[in-house]
Structure formats: structure tokens, C-alpha cells
Structure 1
Amino acid sequence: MNPKIDYYFTCISPFTYLGHRAFLEAARTAGADVNFKPVRLAKVFGNSGAKPLPERPVCRQEYRLLEIGRWAKKRNLAINLKPAHFPTDPGLADRCVIALQQAGENPGEFVQLVLAACWAEEKNIADEAVIREILSSLQLDAEALVAASGSVAVGEQYDRNTEDAVDQGVLGAPAYLLNGEQFWGQDRIELLAETLESQRGMKQ
């Protein structure tokens, strides 16, 4: 049986953007299945004690930008440290991830394009037209998926994901849970990969 990783994130998170491709590659290399679980990050932060960005001391806000820039360079990713449309509501994009999964589609590339739209392309991911354009670029049925994103089933799953994150003690986004063990932050991907590799070695 392939290992399974629960991937807690939101489509507006800069650190999710920085780690997304590296995480998916680590999972692919290990033969792990990824369970995409977008969450309402404000509620997760409320449970973990993290402060919303505007309420953090200026020194922490400045260091956050420094870290984002460093990691973007390390991951070879284009980034705008102060994008035109941040903060914005990630709800539509997050719900489309769930709609894609419920339709049997892998949402990995959609998530990457949405993150890049915000953090590299100065697009507003709260704008339905932007989301439709991304879905269509992937040869997906934008009309059906946007409609599905507003369904009760998708909304309930979004809430369940968030409650699961709270119950599991998720600290923020992104967080990767392997067998209940949390790896919080995209700077823990290498540790996650090493854990996956060691577990695979034990089974051989």
C-alpha cells in the first residue's frame, strides 16, 4: 500500500506556493498518494495561536518577506513579495480544488497555477474569471467545476478539512501529515522526503 500524505493548505499561502512543486515531486518519488485538503486558514490560525499577518510585529512581517524571497530564489520561482491582490479571498479556488477531487481529477497542477497567478502574475484569484481561465487552460470543464464549487457537498468538505486540521493540531499552511506526524512548512519538505525514504527502506 502506498503511503498517504494529508496536505493542508490554502491557495493564497505564499509558503504553499514556494513548496508546492517540491512537495509533489517528493511525494511522486516516494510513490505516496496525496490527499489535498484546503482549509479555512483563519480558523486553523485561531486554534494554533498564530496571529493574522497585520497583527504581527513589524520585525516579523519584514522577516517573513525576507524568507519568502530567499526560498523563492532557492526553489527557482518567480515571486512578487507584495502582490497586487494579497490578501484576497481564496475560498473559490480552495473549493474548486475540492470539486476537482470529487470529480476524480488530480488538482495538483490547478493549485500550482492558482498560486502562481497570485504570487507571480498579479492576478486576483478571488475573481471567478481568473479561476475559469486557469481551469480552461488545463482542458477542464470550468463551467461545471465552478458550479460544483458552490455546492453543499463541497462546502461541507471544506468545513471537514478545516475541522480535521484543528483536530490534528495543524499549525498553519502548508502542513503535510504522514501517519499522523506533522511536517509544518515548506522548509520541512526535505525532512518529509527523508522520512518517506526511510519508511520505504524498512519495507524492502
Structure 2
Amino acid sequence: MSEQYRLLFAHLDKEQDIEQAAQALQQRLKLAEQQVEAFFSGEAIFPASDKAKALKQAKVLASLGVRARLKRIVAPAQTPAAAAGQADEQVLAALDYITSSLIRLEERLDDMDQRFSEHLLHQQQSNDSDELALDLSLDEELNLPAASATRHPLLVVILVLITLLLAILGVSYFYPDLFNF
């Protein structure tokens, strides 16, 4: 069972009257007049939340001259079907995140490949114009490494990471009790 808390109206500060408090709540919290009246009559204006968040909400109300009390609400534990549904949602969210990350990586690689190709083309054009201007003869042959050789290790690392992430995701899907996030 998880504990949730709600804020209920307790009283106003001594120097605060109800009209000033209502106006402050409407302006600061962007509440409708009916919501403020309902709060003063004993209803909650915030949804149930954990204790830390409820205390922060109480501090906000206290800064407006309104004192509130915490009411503990005990929520029933989740059923196994609801927990399984939530686990499925988490798996789908993880798959969505991985897919979007793969798409961004692919776009980045394409962009880098295009820039590199343009750079090589520009470099070849400048080398051709330099060769026309200056005729330098070299006695030994110049061996430059292939351009794709620098991208190859990066591509292999990315593919290994993707495969590893998909394997972890598959294991967590088939054995949900193995990983507790």
C-alpha cells in the first residue's frame, strides 16, 4: 500500500481575510472562483501526491496566508494485471526511446557522411587547381588511408551498442522480475 496525501483547508493567517486569500489563490495558482470556494469549504484543490510534494504545496499555500492540513489517503496496492500493464508500457516506452535514438544516430551518420564527401570533393578540387599552379614531382608514392577506414570502427561500436541494448531489452521483456527499475 502506498501513502498519498491531500491538502485540506485548515485556517487563514490572522492578518489575512478570506477575500484576500481567495484573490491570492486565484492569481498565484490560476484557479477558478468555484475551485477556491470549494477549497475553503473543505475540498482539495491539488490531486493526491506523495508527502514531499504535498509539503511543498502546503508551503506555497502558507506563503499566500492560507494554512492547510495534510490528510493521509491509503491507496490500494496494484493488482498483478495492472502491474503487468505498466511493465508493458515501460517496455514500449523504452522501445520508442531506442527507436528514436537510432533514427537520430542514423541521421547524424548521414549528415557526417555528406559533410565528409563534400569536404573530400572540395579538397580534390583544390588539389587539382594546386597541381595546375605548381607541378611538384614526388620521388616516392604517397599512400593515404581510405576515408571509410576512419568511420568503420565508429560504425562497429554503434552496432555493438545497439545489439547490446536490444538484448538487454529482450531479456527484461521475457524475464521482468530479473530487472527492477
TM-score normalised according to structure 1 size: 0.16
TM-score normalised according to structure 2 size: 0.18
**Which has the higher Rg, Structure 1 or Structure 2?**
2
